[in-house]
Amino acid sequence: MRTARKFAVTLPILSALALGAPTQAGAQDGAPVTIFENVRIFDGKSAQLSAPSHVVVRGNQIERISTSPIPANRSATTKIIIGGGRTLMPGLIDAHWHAMLVRATPAQAFGDVGYNNLMAGDEATDTLMRGFTTVRDVGGPAFGLKRAIDDGIVKGPRIYPSGAMITVTSGHGDFRELIELPRTIGGMLSRMEKLGGAMVADSPDEVRVRAREQLMQGASQVKLTAGGGVSSPFSPIDVTTFTGPELRAAVEAAENWGTYVAAHAFTPNAIQGAVAAGVKCIEHATLMDEATAKLLAEKGIWVSMQPLPEALRLGFPVGSVQRAKADEVWPGIARSYELAKKYKLKTAWGTDVLFSRALAQQQGAILASLTRWYTPAETLIMATSTNAELLALSGKRNPYPGKLGVVEQGALADLLLVDGNPLENINLVADPKNFPVIMKDGVIFKDALPR
């Protein structure tokens, strides 16, 4: 009995170490060591690179940073990476991603689950190989994909999952057909709900149940759609969806779990209603006005914004409801960024790519396009340490305890080696070929340095 009990405790720990899954801080004894020699560091916070430095990674953490050469007492398992003056920086973080919905077409998203999971796994690997070591998933059945990545079955980024986005009847995220109406309260779920893409909730009690279900499955934050959206066919942009009591039910459920609610909202009414209910992060905020920006600043509310590419708008067919709504939203993008800068809002960055592998491949280029409003340093800080601050709002629901988005002693070892200085040439992040080394959680997933 003692032997069985011993293996029950130790085997998961050994398995986690072998597979590169998240490990606890301090569990680094005997862990593999990687040394980056002669690199200049962008630490995720500064507007300048460091002097030539040497960085020691032990296990999944950065153990030491030194401007002096590292002593030569290295074991046979120590891996040396000769930086040659290249830039070492934190892995990139996309704060608005849909891991299960990036490649699938709208029709495929409701189709074969096995195929969609395999497709999402392949896309997750591509995401990591673009230098994105962490994503915040803001809607979709990503729990299984996250587990497969964490267990080392699939190569991919860390995922902060929301699970199913919670919506109301005809809200953004309600992709049911009209033939599926009327909905019987307590009746059978729609295909959309069975797949875990979105859940319809039309009362505070329903919202509370659906929010708790996502938390039960491992959601690090809860996602609601507080206003109309572009891609949903029956959700006008100007409509405010949830009532105050419904929003507060979700906020209460999330706060009871020590985490927060993120709310999709474009318009001032939708944003202000969400803020009044206690929502901590607004997704998009594309049509906010001056008064709304002031409110967000006063309350210290996060805005997770996206410099949506024109190709995304043009992807909707001319004459379609979605194209008309995209035409309504797109002119607000520049104005919203101007207001975010003017009022110094807590601003995160994401892409919001849906249903397009081609656009997903432009993930780094979408990030680089932020230089319409920000310097390269401000842009990269936003996609590293600032986005990491937003992720930390999940408190004890954080699936990856530790410091992300920075290169400093004790931080988790999510690192990119860059051919060049991205603070001078932001377009380096647009092409993954400029990342000869990609490390996540102390594991090297790409090493293309010349030998």
Beta-bridge mates of residue 284 = 265
Given a cut of 50, is residue 222 above it in pLDDT? Answer: yes
* pLDDT on residue 326: 85
pLDDT level of residue 354 (50, 70, 90 thresholds): confident
Question: Given 3-state DSSP classes, what are the helix, strand and coil percentages for the chain, each rounded to the nearest 5?
Answer: 40, 20, 45
Q: What percent of the chain has pLDDT over 70?
A: 92
Given a cut of 70, is residue 16 above it in pLDDT? Answer: no
* pLDDT on residue 8: 35
Q: Which of 126, 118, 117 is nearest to 364 (CA)?
A: 126
Given a cut of 50, is residue 204 above it in pLDDT? Answer: yes
What is 274-323 written as a DSSP string?
Answer: HHHHT--EEEE-TT--HHHHHHHHHHT-EEEE----HHHHHTSPTTSHHH
Q: Among 96-100, 305-309, 411-415, whose mean pLDDT is lowest?
A: 305-309
User: What's the average model confidence in pLDDT over 357-375?
Assistant: 94
Residue of higher predicted confidence among 404 and 451: 404
- Strands 79-82 and 198-200, sheet pairing: unpaired
Q: Residue 191's CB: how many other CB atoms inside 10 A?
A: 14
User: What's the average model confidence in pLDDT over 183-211?
Assistant: 89
pLDDT level of residue 398 (50, 70, 90 thresholds): very high
What is 223-289 written as a DSSP string?
Answer: EEE-B--SS-TT--TT-B-S-HHHHHHHHHHHHHTT--EEEEE-SHHHHHHHHHHT--EEEE-TT--
User: What's the average model confidence in pLDDT over 77-105?
Assistant: 93
* pLDDT on residue 88: 98
* pLDDT on residue 76: 67
* pLDDT on residue 355: 85
* pLDDT on residue 18: 34
Q: Quickly count helices (H) and strands (E) in the chain.
A: 16, 18
Who's near 226: CB < 8 A, 6+ residues apart? 240, 241, 242, 247, 263, 264, 265, 270, 271, 273, 274, 279
Give the whole-angstrom CA distance, residue 46 versus residue 44. 6
* pLDDT on residue 13: 32
The 10s digit of each residue's pLDDT in 191-202 is 888 888 899 999
* pLDDT on residue 125: 97
Farthest CA pair distance, the chain:
72
Cβ burial 239-267 (10 Å sphere, 16+ → b, else e): bbbbbeebbbbbbbbbeebebbbbbbbbb
pLDDT level of residue 316 (50, 70, 90 thresholds): confident
Given a cut of 90, is residue 127 above it in pLDDT? Answer: yes
User: What's the average model confidence in pLDDT over 263-279?
Assistant: 97
* pLDDT on residue 214: 97
User: What's the average model confidence in pLDDT over 141-163?
Assistant: 97
Q: Residues 56, 35: contact at Cβ < 8 Å?
A: yes
Q: With 0-12 CB in 10 A as exposed, 13-18 as middle and 19+ as buried, what is 415?
A: buried
Given a cut of 60, is residue 10 above it in pLDDT? Answer: no
User: What's the average model confidence in pLDDT over 100-118?
Assistant: 85
Cβ burial 136-152 (10 Å sphere, 16+ → b, else e): bbbbbbbbbbbebbbee
* pLDDT on residue 244: 96
Q: Among 146-150, 170-174, 256-260, 372-376, whose mean pLDDT is lowest?
A: 170-174
* pLDDT on residue 107: 77
- For residue 182, whether the previous peptide bond is cis, meaning omega lies within 30 degrees of 0, is yes
Q: Residues 62, 407: contact at Cβ < 8 Å?
A: yes
Q: Which of 202, 99, 199, 180 is nearest to 145 (CA)?
A: 99
Given a cut of 90, is residue 165 above it in pLDDT? Answer: yes
- Strands 261-265 and 281-284, sheet pairing: parallel
Q: Residues 441, 149: contact at Cβ < 8 Å?
A: no
Residue of higher predicted confidence among 173 and 374: 374
Residue of higher predicted confidence among 259 and 177: 259
Residue owning tokens 């929301």: 162
Q: What is the pTM of this model?
A: 0.90
Given a cut of 60, is residue 135 above it in pLDDT? Answer: yes
User: What's the average model confidence in pLDDT over 13-33?
Assistant: 50
Q: SS3 sequence, 70-133?
A: CCCCCCCCCEEEECCCCEEEECEEEEEECCCCCCCCHHHHCCCHHHHHHHHHHHHHHHHHCCEE
Q: Residue 371's CB: how many other CB atoms inside 10 A?
A: 14
